[in-house]
Every structure is written in structure tokens, then in C-alpha cells.
């Protein structure tokens, strides 16, 4: 029986030399692999009250939308600055070289709503941390952070756990 990791393609030297890019599009393209991933992302949170699912740009939209559909809950995108048409709040975070900003509509989450944050890959945790901060600024409660892939050597899972977050990843690639 194939695991989620078996559906993920590795592309060496993309986008830069020395990077081993973990391509989840091969997982998404396979109906069985995609179903397995969605079911396994949901499993730790079954029975927990969840009001909204938040997906981080861009592959988190695919996963988060499918999870929200499965739960019968609303989906909220957290996007790069300048991509949302309504009134937003924003959160800056640091990248390897510089800074980036993500934002969400300021009325997307109500105080007290329980939110599951979803993305395809957890590396340093900067984007996820920014998403968590946005959710919490609106009064939302993050019930968990679910990822397909964890790159534990880059420290993202430890970073989020230090924030008190429950982190769930379907597979890990060491030595990244």
C-alpha cells in the first residue's frame, strides 16, 4: 500500500542549486493519493469542533478547500499582500533574504471560532507563524496546524510547538 510520501516527487536543484524541491502536484494529481492525504490530515482532528479551515497560499488553498468541504465548514485563504479585494489585516514575516507580508480579510474569522490551519509544507515555519498571528489577532483559536510535509531540520515544527501549537504532518524529509 502506497503512503502519502510515495506520491510526492522530488526535483533536485529547484528553484536553486542544492535545493531538493518536494513537489506535491503529483500527490494532488492522483485521486487515491489526494484522498489519502485529505483523510490523514483530518484524522487527528475528527470529533473536535472546528468552525473554519484556513489555507496558506497557494497549495494550502487546494488542501484547505478539500478539508473544509469534507467538514462542511467555511474556508479562509491567507494570501500574499495585495491579492484580496476587501479590507484586510496583514502580518509581516522574515524570509531567508528579506521580508514578506500575508493578509486576510478582517472579517473572515470571528472571536472564539476554532480554526484549523493547513498548508502543504512546513519548513522554517515563518508563513505558518504569520497565519497563526493573523487568526489570533481576530480572536480565532487555532486548534491545529496540519501539513503534508515537514522538513524538521529547518525547525518549523519546533517553532510552532514553542508557540503552543499542535502540529501534524503526514511525512517528513530529513536532511533538508
pLDDT of residue 90: 98
Maximal CA-CA distance, the chain? 47
Q: Which residue, among 71, 92, 94, 95, has the nearest Cα to 80 in the 3D structure?
A: 92
Average pLDDT, the chain: 96
Return the higher-pLDDT residue of 32 and 94: 32
pLDDT of residue 110: 98
Q: What is the pLDDT of residues 40-99, one digit of tens each?
A: 999 999 999 999 999 999 999 999 999 999 999 999 999 999 999 999 999 999 977 789
Please report which confidence band the pLDDT of residue 175 belongs to, taking 50, 70 and 90 as the band edges: confident
Cβ density class 54-81: b for 16+ within 10 Å, e for less: bbbeebbbbbbebbbeebebebbbbbee
Give pTM, 2 decimals.
Answer: 0.96
pLDDT of residue 95: 79
pLDDT of residue 97: 74
**Quick check: is 136 catalytic?**
no
Contact (Cβ atoms closer than 8 angstroms) between residue 78 and residue 103? yes
pLDDT of residue 176: 59
Q: What is the pLDDT of residues 153-174, one digit of tens each?
A: 999 999 999 999 999 999 999 8
Q: What is the mean pLDDT of residues 100-127?
A: 97
**Selected catalytic residue, list 57, 79, 96, 103:** 96
Looking at domain 48-172, its CATH class is: alpha beta
**Quick check: is 9 catalytic?**
no
pLDDT of residue 75: 98
Question: Cα separation of 129 and 127, whole Å?
Answer: 5
Helix (H) or strand (E) holding 62: helix 59-71
**Selected catalytic residue, list 22, 59, 79, 103:** 59
Question: Cα separation of 64 and 41, whole Å?
Answer: 10
Q: What is the mean pLDDT of residues 3-17?
A: 96
Grouping H, G, I as helix, E, B as strand and the rest as coil, residue 34 is: helix
Amino acid at each position: 500500500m502506497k503512503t502519502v510520501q510515495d506520491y510526492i516527487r522530488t526535483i533536485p536543484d529547484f528553484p536553486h542549486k542544492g535545493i531538493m524541491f518536494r513537489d506535491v502536484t503529483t500527490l494532488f494529481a492522483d485521486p487515491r493519493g489526494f484522498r489519502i492525504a485529505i483523510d490523514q490530515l483530518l484524522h487527528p482532528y475528527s470529533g473536535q469542533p472546528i468552525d473554519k479551515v484556513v489555507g496558506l497560499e497557494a497549495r494550502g488553498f487546494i488542501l484547505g478547500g478539500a478539508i473544509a468541504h469534507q467538514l462542511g465548514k467555511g474556508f479562509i485563504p491567507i494570501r500574499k499582500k495585495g491579492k484580496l479585494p476587501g479590507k484586510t489585516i496583514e502580518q509581516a514575516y522574515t524570509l531567508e533574504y528579506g521580508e514578506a507580508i500575508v493578509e486576510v480579510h478582517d472579517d473572515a474569522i470571528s472571536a472564539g471560532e476554532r480554526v484549523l490551519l493547513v498548508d502543504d509544507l512546513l519548513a522554517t515555519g515563518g508563513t505558518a507563524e504569520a497565519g497563526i498571528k493573523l487568526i489570533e489577532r481576530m480572536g480565532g483559536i487555532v486548534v491545529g496546524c496540519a501539513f503534508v510535509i515537514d522538513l524538521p531540520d529547518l525547525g518549523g515544527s519546533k517553532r510552532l510547538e514553542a508557540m503552543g501549537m499542535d502540529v501534524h504532518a503526514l511525512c517528513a524529509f530529513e536532511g533538508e
